[in-house]
Amino acid sequence: MALHIVRHPLVEDVLAALRARVTPCDVFRQLARRATRDLALAETWVETPLERAAVKRLGSRVVAVPVLRAGLGMLDAFLELVPSAQVGYFGLERNEETAVARRYYEKVPKDLEGAVVFLLDPMLATGGSAAMAIDGLRGLGAKQVRLLSIVAAPEGVAHLEKVAPDSLIFTAALDRALNDKKYILPGLGDFGDRLFGT
């Protein structure tokens, strides 16, 4: 499994603001740019007004799958970058006592086999939610899954290394650890609650 920690002065600056308040778009745009820059291209032809020209287009369909709820905060920025992306949804919720995720909803495009699937979830804590989503996407045929998170804990990265070693993780920060309630330290609190004011 490859872990990419996206280091960039603008990412550091926005991350500082993000830890204090919810402004996910800027930091996420940088991450999404980094995570999409090696997408494979396919050669094809188009007719310009003057002649036939060789061009390159994305070689695979791109599917964005935000994890409800917090991943919704990353979707607009992703679609700005890849307007042609199809969108699916995974509804996952951690139990407040046990921190174990439960899958309560899913709706994803058909034929994931040939697509590059970007799983959008800002927080990678125990890794239970991401592992469940990746497993679900694999079960639906996805071969290539890239997780875009904003803050990751070492425990979550280690868990994905174990259960989904061929997935790619892009994150803006690898934080210190989890607390006894499985929240990331220093982290930024409960992303979904802060994003939606609950």
Q: Which residues form the interface with ligand URA (CB under 6 A)? A: 70, 123, 125, 183-184, 187, 190-192
Q: Yes or no: say if 132 and 139 are a contact pair by the CB < 8 Å rule.
A: no
For residue 110, the minimal CB distance to ligand URA (Å) is 30
Shortest Cβ distance from residue 121 to ligand URA (Å)?
9
Count Cβ atoms within 10 A of the Cβ of residue 87 and give its class: 0-12 exposed, 13-18 middle, 19 or more buried.
middle
Residue with tokens 């890849």: 82
Residue 101 interacts with which of ligand PRP, ligand URA, none, CB < 5 to 8 Å by class: ligand PRP
Q: Which of the listed partners (ligand URA, ligand PRP, none) does 24 bind, with a CB threshold of 5 to 8 Å by partner kind?
A: none
Stretch that binds ligand PRP, among 18-26, 32-40, 160-168, 187-195 (CB under 6 A): 187-195
Is residue 162 within 8 A of residue 126, CB to CB? The reply is no
User: What's the CA angle centered on 105, arms 102 and 59, to 5 degrees?
Assistant: 110
First to last CA, the chain: 35
Binding residues (CB under 6 A) for ligand PRP: these are 67-70, 92-94, 99, 101, 121, 123-130, 156, 182, 190-192
Looking at the annotation, which residues are catalytic?
94, 98, 190, 193
